[in-house]
Structure 1
């Protein structure tokens, strides 16, 4: 098998590669030892050693000390595919609504043979704007945006609308503007939460939220709160609304709310983190939840410290994430039609609602 144009070790290596390709040396088979190869090819051991090294370098064999070399087979050739690059800007990953959402976004993008660049805004509008600009500079094909809970949508998001840049809003919408968005049916799920409170005999129910202006999720939950009272023929007590709750003033705000509305037996809180602060403030004020006052909210972890689980509306983060990726794929493909997808959640009964005392 001598060929003057190639070194002998290369000729031996080529011959062994041929045997592997044709199956003469099957996958998993033990390769002849270097000493055995010297006898077959009538060359020095240095030559066969180099031939075997080439097979190992090419990934055709695996060498196991003390046991020998074994055939792995012909390396598979994969055609490189053009993949979509998705960018995601999320408010946070520590909140109950967020952890599963982000995991599912990553899995869904991967299954669609795309890649995901994710940046976190920590709920701060300025960081959100920076993240959007950075991802655009990285030339992502489209953006998935879970906006921060500010008083308004940032200028960078509005600029995306003007530019007709492919993006999808998660858990928000821009009223009167053409966008694609996906989130929970907040009106319907708030009405389910209130229906449960009504079934427990509660009629005097307070509403607690951060400033709802420009925050579509909070506005929709307030809408559901109002509609649920209207459906039951129960008068709305606007003086029992706290719609500008502030973290540093919440204790004083609750004192004022409860003093002005001594007949309140339940509170509906629009989001979990605010509900935790309300719960802590009630404890400090000497109220027992749910013995003295019931508490219901959107989202919650399995339990708080001390084993308390909030009665809450659980949003379907998996379905929301999957729908968001599907919407963005359509937007990237040129579908500019505005779409709003609303998904049902689930009312989870916990430890913070009890029947109203007679």
Structure 2
């Protein structure tokens, strides 16, 4: 049995000036599917009834149906009529939005690359779609922003995952204008929009704990400049708590725009001419891991004989190291899963946690 649709056609047309009539009708049916007035699996009225209700010809209605089929909202292949699909886009499609863009003026972080890789993997493995949009940073005239706006306004996505480019705040104006569910990554809660945060403190503590148990005593750090600035005091407190040693000049902040500089920093720290050298190295960002570990080779030190190394990674999409480093970082799989679950919770009206912290894990602790 089908669910009836009662439409005031005059209202529909007056609120959609400038739009083709068939596009306006398709938008209205999408809206009713997204709000649950037409639930998944329910049957639409007969086409003759839709033609009369919307006051359109068979040709116009066919164009409407073609749009809805193309967007994945309805199935018109059954003999008994047209039906809302079991998992329409507003329940199974999630926009993954980056402030930056590959090949742009800014660094394309390996963390962002890992997220994009995991989104593509999930599309192949699960019954979801995760289109990716780049350069969403407050400019409404870009191609990707305009595509995203159409996706949101036409109810083609369940919600939006914003990946912040620290220290910039993500542009959430589209969420607020449309009330579509959203979640941010690497950003604090923004006016009620939940966030998934990487627990950097757990990374520092777990790395130091591992090195302490390995008998190391003098610890150096190579990290992004902003990490050294924000976390410097915490790092020194935790080093002291483990009864280890560090020096202010052993905490090296490197700009991610020039990751190769990490090689020279480590070479200088570990060079044989140094009167006192660290016997442990913590690399807190995988954008620096390859260059920093290359510096160990340049200094002629042996790992792990001379130096114990803990290097950051985004699992399972880890970046290369050129020495035998212990890999510690964040599992992208549950991180992306937490984003999808937050959007689902918001859409279903359930309580969504405002802050979801992702703890650091060693590689051998990850699920198989």
* TM-score normalized by the length of structure 2: 0.56
Q: Is the 8 A contact 2:303 2:324 kept in 1?
A: no
Question: How many Å apart are 1:347 and its aligned residue?
Answer: 1.4
Q: Within 2, Cα distance between the matches of 1:229 and 1:314? A: 19
After superposition, the Cα gap between the structure-2 partners of 1:153 and 1:261, relative to the gap in structure 1 and judged at 3 Å, is farther
What secondary structure is seen at the aligned counterpart in 1 of 2:302? coil
Q: Within 1, Cα distance between the matches of 2:140 and 2:279? A: 39
Q: Within 1, Cα distance between the matches of 2:225 and 2:333? A: 28
1:196 aligns to what? 210
Question: How many Å apart are 1:269 and its aligned residue?
Answer: 0.8
From 340, 344, 357, give the equivalent of 1:325.
340
After superposition, the Cα gap between the structure-2 partners of 1:219 and 1:110, relative to the gap in structure 1 and judged at 3 Å, is farther
Question: How many Å apart are 1:240 and its aligned residue?
Answer: 1.1
After superposition, the Cα gap between the structure-2 partners of 1:223 and 1:184, relative to the gap in structure 1 and judged at 3 Å, is farther
Once the two structures are superposed, residues 225-245 of structure 1 have per-residue CA deviations (whole angstroms, 9 ceiling, x without a partner) of 345324324455222111234
1:240 aligns to what? 250
Q: How many residues align?
A: 263
Question: How many Å apart are 1:324 and its aligned residue?
Answer: 0.7
Once the two structures are superposed, residues 261-285 of structure 1 have per-residue CA deviations (whole angstroms, 9 ceiling, x without a partner) of 8321111111223111101122223
Q: Within 1, Cα distance between the matches of 2:138 and 2:298? A: 34
After superposition, the Cα gap between the structure-2 partners of 1:277 and 1:129, relative to the gap in structure 1 and judged at 3 Å, is farther
What pairs up with 1:52-201 in 2 under 5 angstroms? 79-81=83-85, 82-84=88-90, 85-90=93-98, 97-98=114-115, 101-103=118-120, 105-106=122-123, 110=127, 115-119=129-133, 130=142, 131-132=144-145, 134-139=147-152, 140-148=157-165, 150=166, 152-154=167-169, 156-157=170-171, 159=173, 166-170=181-185, 172-174=186-188, 178-201=192-215
Q: Within 2, Cα distance between the matches of 1:289 and 1:238? A: 23
What secondary structure is seen at the aligned counterpart in 2 of 1:198? helix
2:16 aligns to what? none
Q: Within 1, Cα distance between the matches of 2:312 and 2:282? A: 9
Q: Within 1, Cα distance between the matches of 2:140 and 2:235? A: 30
Q: Is the 8 A contact 2:329 2:362 kept in 1?
A: yes
After superposition, the Cα gap between the structure-2 partners of 1:233 and 1:94, relative to the gap in structure 1 and judged at 3 Å, is closer
2:220 aligns to what? 206
Question: How many Å apart are 1:341 and its aligned residue?
Answer: 0.9
What secondary structure is seen at the aligned counterpart in 1 of 2:130? strand
Q: Is the 8 A contact 2:289 2:320 kept in 1?
A: no
Q: Within 2, Cα distance between the matches of 1:238 and 1:160? A: 43
After superposition, the Cα gap between the structure-2 partners of 1:303 and 1:328, relative to the gap in structure 1 and judged at 3 Å, is closer
After superposition, the Cα gap between the structure-2 partners of 1:320 and 1:78, relative to the gap in structure 1 and judged at 3 Å, is farther
